[in-house]
Structures are given as C-alpha cells and as structure tokens.
Amino acid sequence: MTSVVTAAAGLRICFVIPTYDEAPNIEPLLRHLAHLHPSPETAFLIVDDNSPDGTAGLVRKFSSQEPRVHLLEGERQGLGSAYLRGITYAMDVLGADAVVQMDADFSHDPSDAGRLLERIAVDADVAVGSRYAPGGAVDPHWGRGRRWLSRWGNRGARWIAGLRGIRDCTSGFKAIRTTALKCAGIQDIRAQGYVFQVALLHRLQTTGARIVEESIYFRDRERGQTKLGAKDTLEFLLQICRLGAAQYRNVWKFGLTGSVAAAVNLGSFYYLLELGLNKYLASPIAVEISIILNFLINNHWTFGDRRLAGPRRVRGLKFNFIALLTLALNYAIFVTLSLLFVEASPLLLQACAIAPVAAVNYLVHFHWTFREAGERF
C-alpha cells in the first residue's frame, strides 16, 4: 500500500459510490475505505437514491465522525443518473483530480482500488478493474446463466459499440482522471441503467483517453439483494445497439455527402465540357465546386452532432488545406488516367479519379478537421 499511496500522493481522490438499500454494507465499507486511504486529500461520496432502508441516515451518522465522507441524495432514476450526479459533484464541488467508481456491496474488493489509482497516477487516464483480464476471475457461486450473460454481454459491447481492446466493458470498478471525464463530455450520456458503464467507456475511448485494465476477483454479494433486473437487461441491449449505430453514423453520412458531392462534381464537369471548356481546366473547377459543397454539408450535418475542437475558422483552414491536397491528388490521377487511356470517356476517368481519395478524405477529416474536442490526432 505504501507504494500506491506514494504514486497517487499528488491527486485529490474521490470515491463515488451509488447506493440503494445498502444499509447492511455501507458502514463496514466506509470504515474499510477510510482505513485504507487515510490521506486528507481523499473523499468518499455516497450517492443515495432515497433508500427506504435508512442507508442515508447511516452515512450521515458516519460522516459526523469522518468529515471526508459526503452524502448526495436524490430520486431513484437509475445507476447512470446516480453516477452522473456523483461525478459532477466530485469534480465541481470537491475538486477531485480522480474519481473511483465502485459498488457498495463488497463485490469490488476495496483494497484493489489502490492498484487502479496507481495506474492512473503513472501511465493511464482510466484504469478498469477487470474480471476478464489475465488473472481476473468471478465468484464460483455465479450460475452458468449469469456467467454466460456477463461474458457475451461484454463481447457484444466490445464488438457492436467498438470498444476495441477492452475485455471487461461492463465493469463498475474504475479509477478515472477527471481531465479525461471533462474531455469526454459525460453530461451528454443518456444511459440510465447498468449500460452507463459501457456508454462511459465509449465516450472516454472516443475522446482519446488512455485506458488500461487491472485484473480483479469479483465476489458475489453476501448481504442485501442485487438491483439488476429485466428492465436493465433490455436497456443494455437497446443502448448497445444504439452505440453501435452511432459508431458508424458518421461513416454513412460522410459517404452520402461524398456521393452528393461526386454527383455535383460529375455534373459540373459535364456542363463545363458542354460549354466548350478544355477537359484539363474543367476537371479542377468541378472538383473545387464539389469541395465547397462537401465542406458545407459535412460541417453542418455529418459532424454537426460532435463537440468539434477549435473555432470554425480553424476548421475552415484545415478543410481548405486538405481540399488543396485532394484537388492535387484527384487531378494527378485524372491526368495520369487520361494519358494512359486516351480513348476512354473523360467522364469515366473523372469518376475513377474520385474513388481513391474518398477513404483518405474521410479518415483525415474525421480525425483532424472535424475531430471531437479532447480527441488526440
């Protein structure tokens, strides 16, 4: 523990722990955490959803003796809502540099939090307590159905939502730097239930956070009852599909925009040829017309739902720079094809010149021109 405390010594840490009917667990958990993390820079925030079993009263009683314990109460709206309230409070009111998410039922071993904090203090923005990383495990009391659901739920989240490289996408045990949370714009997350964990990771990964996994042993709760129900399972499936669709939404919108621009390119080229303009002059003019249209549609529609980095004028300069490269590449391909296939239709050659730059165009604009705030290029 000494090395962990030393590594994280410069961080103001806040444990954010959502509760609902956790009266049998909350006092032992807080006592254990306070002992493991004695630093005055460490806070413990309990986010209670008006538990009818008196959980909040026990927290208030404990906080009278331990001022580092804080209580945030509210209506029960789901795990995601509780975490959003808690993380926002930890950042804005308690001034946390890092938050630790964990359950209140001892499914997550409090002593493992130190390893997660060590990772974000040394080499990561997010450290996930992973049941499925090498060395991780789950309680042997888990039934076959629960194991199957957990395994395949994680695989589905990883494949559909595009959470590349993360083995435990649904883990509720994480240490996260608040700088990464702010870049991720977590207030826009709409997931209410347990799928919040997947949506949060998706946001963090999309905005360039460095995510690592630390193996943990996940034990079954000994006191109280699980809150996971059929409604949460249904929301999980629906939200995973929504995240998957969102993952590729920009691709098809960019493709559709590109198709429109290509049609304008070819139409303009044909019209300029009909006016008697030389094909070597008509080609770059047609390309430039399509580039202008491309920028306007992409800026206001394709990437209009992203929190775009930098001012609009900078994006315009970036787009114009890429446009010049695109024009040069497109024109070079057109000229080359025209010299190689002298008898071929100029319209066909112009269409062939458009295709090679489309993929490069999308990748550069997605990750540079229209990159989301916080995303590393």
Of 21-30, 303-312, 349-358, highest mean pLDDT: 21-30
Rounded mean pLDDT, 84-92? 96
- Cα dist. 373→157, 188, 217, 306, 369 in Å? 24, 13, 35, 8, 11
pLDDT tens, position by position, 38-56: 999 999 999 999 999 999 9
Partner residues linked to 288 by β-bridges: none
Among 202, 223, 13, which Cα is nearest to 113's? 13
Rounded mean pLDDT, 326-332? 81
Distance between CA atoms of 71 and 73, rounded to whole angstroms? Answer: 6
Q: What are phi and psi of 49, to 5 degrees?
A: -95, 60
Residue 239 parent element (H or E): helix 230-274
Q: With both helix axes pointing from N to C terminus, report the angle between 312-340 and 279-297 in degrees, rounded to the nearest 10.
A: 150
Of 377 and 171, the one with more pLDDT? 171
What is the rounded average pLDDT for all residues in the chain? Answer: 83
- Where do we find the tokens 């390893």? 115
* Sequence letter at residue 277: L
Of 110 and 224, the one with more pLDDT? 110
Q: What pLDDT is attached to residue 239? A: 61
* Domain boundaries along the sequence of the chain: 2-228, 248-369
Tokens of 325: 């490269």
Distance between CA atoms of 343 and 6, rounded to whole angstroms? Answer: 74
Of 139-143, 230-234, 288-292, highest mean pLDDT: 288-292
Contact 131, 138 (CB under 8 A): yes
| CATH number of the 2-228 domain | 3.90.550.10
Q: What pLDDT is attached to residue 25? A: 93
Question: Cβ–Cβ contacts within 10 Å for residue 330, how many?
Answer: 24
Distance between CA atoms of 130 and 228, rounded to whole angstroms? Answer: 19
Contact 68, 43 (CB under 8 A): yes
Local confidence band at 7 (pLDDT 50, 70, 90 cut-offs): very low
pLDDT at 12 over 90: yes
Q: How many helices (H) and strands (E) does the chain have?
A: 12, 9
